[in-house]
Chain A
């Protein structure tokens, strides 16, 4: 029991992140249910599905993160689960593009309610992605070093934007990779060889946005460490 409590104290923030995201997802679903009961239409039900998909990479990253503490397991698990993670990861930022549904949904629900509903989904989805990317970066950094960690983040940001593009405009989804691999690979190859203006602009804008949010979160996280060293040096003068 004591060990359990100690473990809890040790992982307090990790568990809190998990709890917060789970709570937010419950609220998201509640908002959709409430809207459905008010308007009698099931608009936005697909958001719940997208949010569920956004949980998959988070779950995978969480599990890898915890299991990878045992080194022996690592070489066995990491390649497979990292690949799975990468396949499902774009679903998290994909929710951002669901904002376009705002211009279509009807019903007698006021605009502001739809805006709040979408904001809830979008932020929950993107944070799920950010936290899981952070966990993966930690794993990579631990095993291969700092620069590899950042290289990994860059690669993921780029690949994710392409993934979001494929999902939004070409209407592929993550399952298709597992189900219809060759068809998708051919299609993707064709697009890489013949990029359109739209795909280039979209991918670069999305990548830079994604990196910006991640970097801000990362720098913000380090503010705290900075503050602690500030306090150490300044404490004698203020107290």
Chain B
């Protein structure tokens, strides 16, 4: 029998910590942007704030989904809708990384190092939002369908989101368009699929591999802790092939 359950806060403290850290980081990003605006009187990088907001959408979706999915009855009802919505908004999170190219084109009185720190803050916050939300989705799929479907899901998502970033960066579509104007977007994407350019292939491959690498590192790093615990605690935790 299980021991009297500790309070909700203690039990979920790491989930809450992640949420708080990401919110704090987002606030800090906003603060950096405002400081830059006050200093230079220019609205440069306003797009970043919007992109960061968009990056929160898949995170929030995954979070809600993760909380809901414990109840089995809800599951079959919510999975298709949620997963699709999530997938539509997901590329916004890693998309922020490509904003780094703006470093090329900025002429303002603000020193370059400040812009770099600003962009680094924004891009890492966005990327980590995306990775955590992917992890939550990975968990959900793994729990319900098993280990290999979980990893296949991750593979597909990294491929699709790289393609999504390409569509956003070079063809200037955004997530709303998928809801607002799906047919035209579908036609455009179909055109790409039928006749892919070298740029599309190179960009998508490089980005997908990169995304997978970062996800795998994070995943393995997380398992390091488990390995650690296993080796230091005298009565070993049973190793479950889950």
Contact = CB atoms under 8 A, between A and B. Distances in A.
A binds B: yes
Interface in A212-228: 212-213, 215-217, 219-228
A191 interface: no
Given A20-B217, A209-B117, A102 B223 contact: no
Interface string A11-40: 111101100110110010001000000000
Nearest to B214: A123
Interface stretch (B177-185, B186-194, B205-213): B205-213
B72 interface: yes
A100 B214 contact: no
A154 interface: no
Given A103-B104, A209-B124, A223-B15, A20 B227 contact: no
B217 A226 contact: no
Interface string B111-139: 11110110111001000100010010001
Contact of B217 (A102, A127, A231): A127
A138 B113 contact: no
A116 B217 contact: no
Interface stretch (B20-28, B52-60, B148-156): B20-28
Q: Which of A10, A100, A115, A142 has the most CB of B within 10 A?
A: A115
A17 to B, nearest CB: 5
A129 B222 CA distance: 15
Q: State the 3 A-B residue pairs at the shortest beta-carbon distance, nearest first.
A: A222-B14, A221-B225, A13-B223
Interface of A: 10-14, 16-17, 20-21, 23-24, 27, 31, 96-97, 99-100, 102-103, 110-116, 118-120, 123, 127, 130-131, 134, 138, 142, 168, 198, 201-202, 205-206, 208-209, 212-213, 215-217, 219-229, 231-234, 238
